[in-house]
């Protein structure tokens, strides 16, 4: 118990120091949906807004409620950071329990337990997110609690049921954690067949999982089914065929392996200083590559000893006894998790639990290959080098800011927007839904044009039209257009016309006489900076017919989508066009196709400056341009987050 307490408080102190150095993370996700989701649940706005945070609007908000509670408190940013860090540091408790399951509680094994905990806790993907708004560290705590509980043989059936609840909660708050449920199911059957776990304990465990999923996800899934006809809306819509979302598969391709070489090389690639290899940012991790080397050495030694004829039959019972070993089961859990995470996303953020266990298994493998004193020196040096390798030169945060003893998230909203409710139509891939927390609570929010621009025909368009009719005269557009508010600038006129063209299909235009500025306060080490957006009233306008350029651009998009359907999916309801430039971003690959009137068709990536020109709009539309698949391959976007066709 004293060792367990020491591990937690020492680890919490170290993590707190790390978070203090790394700073807070005002991430894209925080502004787009992390803050909005719990607000929409607790205020009832989830049923009143329409795609307020874009396609992320309908994730289960349950896991973000602690964050929302902290953001609503009148406390400085560092208090929020300390609270989130304490919550994330809880991962040390199940990690210690797993370490005891492997090495036992004996004092002579303590150095190996502590080294294993150090290498597990120093998982770069975890440190990158610790103390931030991300839900992945919380999910990791729940998954490892579920694993630690399954490793215990003395727990009663009722306690096993309680442990199973943690896995159910992890799945409910983030369905991608289902990959760990598969690994734990295999592990529970393995332990039952090996006599390490009673079948009634396993049934109680999985009963707890089912109950937790039913209670914490069931009501939300039921509401999505009733509202949209899809319990996981907008995901898997190729199965549910909801008319409110595209029917193609929606899956982030940026980290998916493209060949068997990628599957085998990923542990090595993770050690490189390269962005968007396995996570958003430069977050190198030496441990998977070292573990791979140790496993090869260990398997080589095992194969060599097994081929010795004089001992093969005599040692068979001992060789079969490995099935009862905790470290062998841990290896199976890691391998199954690795395969499933790689097949579903390839994103290390979704596999932190497995990556933490890599550190533990690394210690166990090293222990099997050399004398204890040699292993301790090697592992201690590895831990130090690994921490310096990532900590000194890697990205600590994606959008890090120093702690300033001010509110964690600071939008400056003009008084009229706080005092009077409006229907706010946001424009942009970043929905800005977090600002809804400071708008009048009885207003409404719609991400009109963004990751999934809303259509002008069909059932979803009808819902949008009904909402806009209800709020006629009380509707405002929230967009990146503060520069358009300057009436003294002679160049503003054409830009305003292009902006109005982009929203004319919805039957509205901007009233530039009624504009306000919404600002987000950002900090650097040297100064305060502001990001600004315009909030302008809109008025009714005739719905404009597509121009010849719009028709040409649409033909070009359809041609490109047919050439390379794996990359250019899902096909959105609408393209974005301002009369001179038309644009579509494809969510699966983050590919961006831009058609420029009188110029050409450009293929780029949402997170890269690379660009390929495919030809003139006419040539591309007629099938005479550069093949989009070939162009995408040449961009070599696997490292930058893209997907090769």
Which letter, b or e, does each residue of 446-471 get, where b requires 16 or more Cβ atoms within 10 Å of its Cβ? bbbbbbbbbbeeeebbebbeebbeeb
Residue by residue, DSSP assigns 120-140 as: HHT-HHHHHHTTSS-SHHHHH
Q: Residue 306: what pLDDT?
A: 64
C-beta neighbour count of 473 within 10 angstroms: 10
Token pair recorded at residue 234: 């907008």
What is the per-residue pLDDT across 353-395, written as a single tens digit (0 to 9) for each? 999 999 999 999 999 898 999 999 999 999 999 999 999 889 9
What is the per-residue pLDDT across 5-47, written as a single tens digit (0 to 9) for each? 999 999 999 999 999 999 999 999 999 999 999 999 999 999 9
Q: Residue 312: what pLDDT?
A: 46
What is the per-residue pLDDT across 205-235, written as a single tens digit (0 to 9) for each? 999 999 999 999 999 999 999 999 999 999 9
* The residue to which tokens 């797993």 are assigned: 98
pLDDT beyond 90 at 129:
yes
Q: Residue 308: what pLDDT?
A: 61
Q: Residue 135: what pLDDT?
A: 96
Task: Calculate mean pLDDT across residues 568-595.
Answer: 92
With CA atoms as reference, report the closest residue to 561 among 612, 605, 627, 609.
627
CA angle 507-509-514, nearest 5°?
140
User: Is 637 or 567 the better-scoring residue by pLDDT?
Assistant: 567
Q: Residue 639: what pLDDT?
A: 45
Do residues 643 and 256 make contact, with C-beta atoms less than 8 angstroms apart? yes
Cα–Cα dist 501/547, whole Å: 10
Distances (CA, A) of 258 to 261, 262, 566: 8, 6, 12
Task: Calculate mean pLDDT across residues 515-537.
Answer: 92
What is the per-residue pLDDT across 442-451, written as a single tens digit (0 to 9) for each? 999 999 999 9
pLDDT beyond 90 at 178:
yes
Using 50, 70 and 90 to split pLDDT, how confident is the model at 636?
low
pLDDT beyond 60 at 581:
yes
DSSP tag of 33? I
Residue by residue, DSSP assigns 378-424 as: HHHHHHHHHHHHHHHHS-S-SSEE---SS-SS-EE--HHHHHS--EE
DSSP tag of 251? -
Q: What is the pTM of this model?
A: 0.93
Do residues 250 and 234 make contact, with C-beta atoms less than 8 angstroms apart? yes
Give the mean pLDDT of the chain: 92
CA angle 62-64-69, nearest 5°?
110
pLDDT beyond 60 at 158:
yes
* Residues linked to residue 521 through DSSP beta bridges, in sequence order: 530
pLDDT beyond 90 at 249:
no
Q: Residue 221: what pLDDT?
A: 97
Find how far residue 633's CA is from the centre of its chain.
Answer: 25
What is the per-residue pLDDT across 450-460, written as a single tens digit (0 to 9) for each? 998 999 999 99
Positive or negative: CA dihedral 329, 63, 29, 176: positive
Task: Calculate mean pLDDT across residues 463-483.
Answer: 96
Sheet with 475-479: strands ordered across: 411-412, 508-523, 528-540, 475-479, 423-427, 444-449
Q: Residue 352: what pLDDT?
A: 97
* Residues linked to residue 380 through DSSP beta bridges, in sequence order: none
pLDDT beyond 50 at 641:
no
User: Which burial class, exposed, middle or buried, applies to 249 when counting CB atoms under 10 A from its CB (0-12, 13-18, 19+)?
Assistant: middle
Task: Calculate mean pLDDT across residues 50-55.
Answer: 96
Length of the chain: 645
Using 50, 70 and 90 to split pLDDT, how confident is the model at 471?
very high
Find how far residue 445's CA is from the centre of its chain.
Answer: 23
* The residue to which tokens 């961006």 are assigned: 592
Cα–Cα dist 240/63, whole Å: 25
What is the per-residue pLDDT across 307-360, written as a single tens digit (0 to 9) for each? 664 444 445 455 556 677 888 999 999 999 999 999 999 999 999 999 999 999
Task: Calculate mean pLDDT across residues 464-480.
Answer: 96
* Residues linked to residue 523 through DSSP beta bridges, in sequence order: 528
Do residues 154 and 43 make contact, with C-beta atoms less than 8 angstroms apart? no
What pairing do the DSSP bridges indicate for beta strands 600-605 and 608-615? antiparallel
Among 202-216, 238-252, 280-294, the minimum mean pLDDT is found in: 238-252
Cα–Cα dist 199/247, whole Å: 41
Q: Residue 503: what pLDDT?
A: 95
**% pLDDT > 70, the chain:** 95
């Amino acid at each position: 118990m004293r060792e367990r307490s020491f591990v937690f408080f020492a680890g919490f102190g170290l993590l707190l120091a790390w978070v203090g150095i790394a700073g807070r993370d005002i991430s894209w996700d925080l502004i787009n949906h992390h803050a909005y989701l719990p607000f929409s649940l607790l205020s009832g706005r989830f049923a009143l807004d329409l795609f307020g945070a874009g396609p992320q609007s309908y994730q289960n908000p349950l896991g973000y409620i602690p964050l929302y509670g902290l953001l609503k408190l009148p406390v400085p940013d560092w208090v929020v950071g300390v609270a989130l860090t304490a919550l994330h540091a809880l991962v040390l408790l199940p990690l210690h329990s797993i370490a005891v399951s492997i090495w036992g509680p004996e004092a002579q094994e303590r150095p190996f337990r502590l080294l294993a905990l150090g290498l597990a806790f120093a998982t770069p993907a975890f440190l990158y997110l610790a103390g931030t708004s991300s839900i992945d560290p919380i999910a990791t705590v729940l998954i490892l609690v579920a694993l630690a509980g399954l490793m215990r043989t003395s727990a009663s059936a009722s306690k096993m049921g309680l442990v199973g609840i943690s896995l159910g909660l992890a799945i409910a708050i983030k369905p991608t954690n289902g990959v760990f449920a598969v690994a734990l199911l295999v592990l529970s059957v393995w332990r039952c067949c090996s006599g390490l776990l009673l079948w009634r304990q396993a049934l109680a465990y999985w009963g707890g999982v089912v109950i937790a999923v039913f209670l914490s996800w069931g009501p939300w899934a039921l509401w999505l089914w009733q509202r949209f006809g899809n319990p996981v809306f907008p995901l898997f819509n190729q199965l549910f065929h909801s008319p409110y979302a595209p029917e193609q598969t929606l899956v982030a391709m940026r980290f998916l392996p493209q060949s068997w070489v990628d599957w085998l090389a990923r542990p090595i690639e993770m050690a490189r200083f390269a962005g968007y290899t396995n996570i958003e940012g430069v977050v190198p991790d030496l441990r998977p590559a070292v573990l791979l080397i140790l496993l090869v050495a260990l398997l080589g030694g095992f194969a060599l000893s097994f081929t010795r004829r004089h001992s093969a039959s005599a040692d068979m019972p001992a060789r079969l006894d490995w099935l009862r070993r905790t470290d062998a089961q841990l290896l199976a859990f890691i391998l199954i998790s690795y395969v499933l995470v790689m097949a579903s996303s390839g994103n290390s953020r979704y596999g932190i639990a497995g990556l933490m266990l890599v550190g533990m298994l690394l210690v166990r493998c090293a222990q099997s290959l050399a004398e204890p004193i040699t292993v301790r020196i090697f592992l201690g040096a590895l831990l130090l080098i690994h921490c310096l390798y990532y900590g000194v030169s890697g990205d600590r945060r994606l959008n890090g800011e120093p702690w300033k003893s001010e509110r964690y998230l600071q939008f400056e909203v003009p008084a009229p927007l706080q005092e009077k409710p409006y229907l706010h139509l946001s424009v942009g891939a970043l929905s800005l839904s977090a600002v809804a927390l400071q708008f009048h609570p009885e207003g409404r929010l719609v991400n009109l044009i963004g990751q999934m621009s809303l259509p002008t025909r069909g059932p979803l368009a009808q819902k949008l039209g009904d909402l806009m009719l209800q709020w006629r005269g009380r509707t405002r557009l929230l967009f990146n257009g503060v520069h358009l508010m300057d009436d003294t600038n002679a160049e503003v006129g054409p830009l305003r016309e292009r902006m109005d063209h982009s929203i004319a299909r919805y039957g509205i235009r901007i009233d530039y006489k009624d504009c306000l500025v919404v600002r987000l306060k950002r900090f650097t080490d040297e100064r305060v900076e502001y990001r600004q957006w315009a909030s302008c009233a809109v008025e009714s306008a005739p719905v404009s017919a597509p121009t010849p350029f719009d028709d040409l651009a649409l033909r070009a998009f359809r041609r490109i989508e047919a050439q390379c359907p794996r990359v250019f999916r899902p096909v959105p309801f609408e393209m974005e066009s301002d009369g001179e430039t038309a644009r579509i971003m494809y969510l699966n690959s983050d590919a961006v196709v831009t058609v420029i009137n009188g110029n050409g068709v450009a293929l780029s990536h949402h997170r890269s400056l690379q660009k390929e020109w495919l030809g003139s709009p006419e040539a591309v539309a007629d099938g005479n341009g550069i093949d989009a698949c070939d162009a995408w391959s040449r961009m070599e976007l696997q490292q930058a987050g893209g997907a090769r066709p």
